[in-house]
Amino acid sequence: MQIAKRAVFIFLGAALVSVGLEIFLVPNNIIDGGVVGISIICQHLTGLPLGLFLTLINLPFLFLGYKQIGKTFALSTLYGVIVMSIGTALLHPVEPITIDPLLAAVFGGIILGIGVGIVIRVGGSLDGTEIVAILLNKKSPFSVGEFVMFFNVFILGSAGFVFGWDRAMYSLIAYYIAFKMIDLTVEGLDESKSVWIISDDAKTLGDAILQRLGRGVTYLNGEGGYSGDDKQVIFAVVTRLEQAKLKSIVEELDPGAFLAIGNIHDVKGGRFKKKDIH
């Protein structure tokens, strides 16, 4: 059942990426980063099908992923790449929806980003440069994100020499929008936030969060670094949509409280059930 669910979502994500590429970006000479961007440039220079380059360029990276990261990840990525390649071939004869480069960059970036995000969310990938970045990250002080950014700056810069610098700038717009949509799709609107509150009236604030947000709280004992006074710290986890309500609760009950909010990439466990905000 889990394998079937993953296959369906990877198919959907890869199909959306095909739509974003062939209906919006490629006809307007706008590229994305990574292997997709390299493939679009190669297709433009040679006239050969885009899907051919998407498959061939990804294959060495897939082999590395199979050897170093894992069989499931590599097979999921191979499946997604094949679906994406076939999708671009089928959609290539279809007329683009718009020839306005700005509209193409915006909507192409949105659709492509959602598609890639869906695939990543179920444990796959559509871009071999991410695999290289993961492997290089293990042997260097640079993060995966920094490696991916370096690759993409080089690829997007190359678009200026191939398609013209105006198209390279549109490509940056598309890449940025796709990047944000990937983040939104992977994390979801219910992205979790960690909350730390230091207040002289921690119990009142904790009870309000418990009753009005329906979120469990944990009380931690702390000591002020400057004053040396004992402090009680509230720790809680809320969603992105609950963040504004939490701030209003703190502002209402203790305007002088210290409040820090950070992103959390994953939350697991806990038995407290969510209640409606009120």
pLDDT digits (tens, 9 = 90+) for 240-254: 778 888 998 999 999
* C-alpha distances in Å from residue 231, one per residue of 112, 155, 235, 237: 48, 51, 13, 20
89-109: average pLDDT: 94
**Distance of alpha carbon 184 from alpha carbon 84, whole angstroms:** 21
The three-state secondary structure class of 35 is: helix
Closest CA to 32 of 163, 130, 171, 165: 171
43-64: average pLDDT: 89
Residue 188 pLDDT exceeds 80? no
Confidence bin at 146 (pLDDT 50/70/90): low
Radius of gyration of the chain (CA): 23
**Distance of alpha carbon 12 from alpha carbon 116, whole angstroms:** 10
Confidence bin at 278 (pLDDT 50/70/90): very low
Confidence bin at 63 (pLDDT 50/70/90): confident
State the burial class of residue 263 (Cβ atoms within 10 Å of its Cβ: 0-12, 13-18, 19+): exposed
Q: Residue 43's pLDDT is what?
A: 92
Give the tokens for residue 77: 């990525």
Highest mean pLDDT among 19-23, 224-228, 234-238: 19-23
Residue 85 pLDDT exceeds 90? yes
Digit-coded pLDDT (tens) for 105-116:
999 999 999 998
> For all residues of the chain together, what is the average pLDDT?
85
Supply the pTM of this predicted model. 0.73
52-56: average pLDDT: 92
Confidence bin at 277 (pLDDT 50/70/90): very low
161-165: average pLDDT: 90
Digit-coded pLDDT (tens) for 24-53:
999 999 998 888 899 999 999 999 999 999
Q: Residue 174's pLDDT is what?
A: 93
In one-letter notation, the amino acid at residue 53 is: F
